[in-house]
Each structure stands twice: as structure tokens, then as C-alpha cells.
Amino acid sequence: MNRSLLYILLVAVSVLAACTSAPQPPAAATQVADTLRYPEEKHLKNIRQLTFGGDNAEAYFSADGKYLTLQRTRPEEGVACDQIFWGKVPVAGETFTLHPLSNGKGRTTCSYYMPDGQHILYASTHHKADSCPPAPDRAKIRKYVWAIYETFDIFVADTAGQIVQQLTDSPGYDAEATISPKGDRIVFTSTRNGDIDLYTMNIDGSDVKQVTNGLGYDGGAFFSPDGSKLVFRASRPQTPEDVKEYKDLLAQGLVAPTNMELYTCNVDGSDLKQITQLGKANWAPYFHPLGNKILFASNHASEGGRLFNLYLINLDGTGLERVTYDTEFDSFPMFSPDGKTLVFASNRNNGETRHTNIFIADWVE
């Protein structure tokens, strides 16, 4: 849900969506002399740009590492809000070509490959209305907020776009779903209990179990490499004033996510630990392939809060290390299953436009 909106809304940028097949220029065209890498980015090598124009984010690998699914917007193509696409990871100078998955109706978000590699799950509002749900009136609210659309449910479609299953059908918001590397469980965010908590379910939508129960927004969860733990972002109000504001916004289907920290827990919710205490917005976490560190996006070092970069941190909260040095926005990192490649969204090389594109790079320990 709205994972890209944190940066985009802070700088008044609209992000994510499109509904037509959009072939892209060859990814190989921008890898000469590794010109897309900042000199300080020692963990990255051979950065290649996969998309060129529009707002693209939340690109995640299939289980075999050969494909990516992502969400994208391109208002000039006639689509006003997020839609889902997939494409083959290019090799040997191939072109990265986007294929539409969602049907262009409603708003979609948070896609992820099913274990068979032939189906993709994502959240959508299309079954409630063909049009995009209205964005929050931030001029009236006078606060930076996300919308928690109660019409989001989680669906599974084949790569031709045919929906084969609806996994959730409860009142309220169901979205932000990802799948365990073991291929047996899905973690997702839901408001079915009146708060915004994490839940898990079987791959077919059965056996739903609540994971978190602390007051506040818990979301954007991913499994550890062995499938035993979860990492997620959380906004937990502490003072009476913050609690009141959180509840008042939630009653309007809104949440203010400008103060978020990272947490881990076992899949059943036990052993809950706060990993970061950096302030501002720490989000989009993903486990390092060895399971001993977390890669995430943060604006904690940005005085104005506009600049997001990628960081590594140990599971005990020590050893914070900066990974990217962009002057605007890097987020949504995901390692390939073999740990050799990183995909992420970035505003680098966008010709001083507001476009957010997908990049892929070799990972260097």
C-alpha cells in the first residue's frame, strides 16, 4: 500500500500506474563505464536502468530470479493511478519489456510472484469500482497522509492478467502482501480488527492468523531467507496526543507515516524487536541474503526529509551503513534469490524530471 508515496508526496510527486504494454529502451544502453553509480556506492556494480520514464516502483523478483513484477503510473498514457506489470530480467543486452498484468480498473498495489512463477498476487480496488479511489484532500487535512483504502483486497492472476483467485474478502483494507521463500505463507497488512496490523495466511488464503497487535500502523513486511522471521515498518504512537491523532485519521481511512521505525518478529508475532531508532521515516526493509542484516530506505539523514537513500543495519540495530548516495530518492530494494543482484527504485538519471525508474545492479559484499 502506497509504499512509494512517502517520498513522492513529500515532494509533491505523483507515483505509480499504467495499463498498456510499454517496451523500454535496452537496459544495456546506460551501463557504459557504470555511469549510474555514485563513487561511494561500494556495494553496487554494473548498475543498469530498466525503465525510462513514468513512475515505477516496488519491483520484486520471481522465485527463480528471472522475472520482475512492479507497479507503474504514466498519466500521459491516460492512466491516473497504480497498475501492475511484469517483465523478464534482461541479460546480454536484452530489452526490458513491460507486460500489463492488472486490467486498468481501480487502483492496484504491492504485487509479488507466486511460488510457481506463473501467477502474481496483488491488491486491487477494481472489484468495487472501475475508477481510481479519490486521493486524500491534503490541503484540507493539512498533514501528510496515506489513504488506507477499505476497498483493497488481494487477488491472484496469471501472467496474461486473468484473475484466478480472490484471497481476501473481509471488510476493510487488505494489501501489502509478500510470500515466504518457503512458498507456504503470505504476510499482509489488514484493518479487519479496527487497527492496522500484520497477518499471515496459507498460499491459498486459508488459515488467517494475526501477527502484530500493537496500536499503530504495521506494514510492508517481508520474510527472512529461511521463512522464520518478518521484518516490517511500524508507526507506533506513544503520547496521548499522538494516539488521538492516529485514531482520528484511521477513522477517516488515513494514516500519517512520517515517523516509522523497523521491527522484526517471528512469523507468529513472538520475539518482537525494534531494530531502528533513527527518527523520521525508515521503511521498505528487506533481509540480506544471509539473514543477518536488513537493507532499507531512510530519510533520517536528510535535514528536510526529502532525500531517501538505502542503508544496511545488523539485526541487533548496530552497524548502520549507508549503501546509496543519491541526491533525491532510492528505495524498495530487493535481493535476487541467489543474493547476487539488487533491484531498486530511484530518481537518479531522470533528466531532472520527477520520474522514478527501476534499476538493477550487481551486489558487492
pLDDT of residue 258: 87
Return the C-alpha torsion angle 88, 91, 96, 100, nearest 10: 0
Which of 32-41, 87-96, 240-249, 251-260 is predicted with the least confidence, judged by mean pLDDT? Answer: 32-41
CA-to-CA distance for 27 and 94, rounded, in angstroms?
7
pLDDT of 2 higher than 90? no
> DSSP string covering 260-319, please?
BEEEEEETTS-S-EE-----SBEEEEEE-TTSSEEEEEE-TT-SSS--BEEEEEETTS--
Which of 29-33, 53-57, 291-295, 328-332 is predicted with the least confidence, judged by mean pLDDT? Answer: 29-33
Which of 6-15, 74-83, 146-155 is predicted with the least confidence, judged by mean pLDDT? Answer: 6-15
For the chain, the domain total comes to 1
Return the SS3 of 24: strand
Q: pLDDT tens for residues 302-326?
A: 998 889 999 999 999 999 999 999 9
Contacts of 96 (CB under 8 A, 6+ apart): 24, 26, 27, 50, 51, 87, 88, 89, 90
Are the CB atoms for 223 and 230 separated by under 8 Å?
yes
Q: pLDDT tens for residues 10-23?
A: 443 333 333 333 44
pLDDT of 78 higher than 90? no
pLDDT of 346 higher than 50? yes
Residues in the chain, total: 365
pLDDT of 161 higher than 70? yes
DSSP code at position 133? P
pLDDT of residue 35: 94
pLDDT of residue 33: 65
pLDDT of residue 15: 35
Task: Label the pairing between strands 83-88 and 67-73.
Answer: antiparallel
Reported confidence tier of residue 144, pLDDT bands at 50, 70, 90: confident
Structural domain of 160: 5-363
Mean pLDDT over 209-232 rounds to 97
CA-to-CA distance for 85 and 99, rounded, in angstroms?
5
Reported confidence tier of residue 74, pLDDT bands at 50, 70, 90: confident
DSSP code at position 248? H
pLDDT of residue 257: 84
Which of 28-37, 39-48, 66-75, 330-339 is predicted with the least confidence, judged by mean pLDDT? Answer: 28-37
Q: From residue 22, how far is each of 98, 99, 241, 271, 320 by CA, in Å?
A: 5, 7, 47, 44, 38
pLDDT of residue 5: 43
Q: Letter for the amino acid at 196? A: I
> What is the domain-level CATH number for residue 290?
2.120.10.30
Are the CB atoms for 306 and 354 separated by under 8 Å?
no
Q: What is the mean pLDDT of the chain?
A: 91
Residue 178 corresponds to which cell in the numbers above?
Answer: 509478500
Return the SS3 of 16: coil
Vertex 71 angle, CA 20 and 267, to 5° = 145
pLDDT of 119 higher than 80? yes
The share of the chain scoring above pLDDT 70, in percent, equals 91
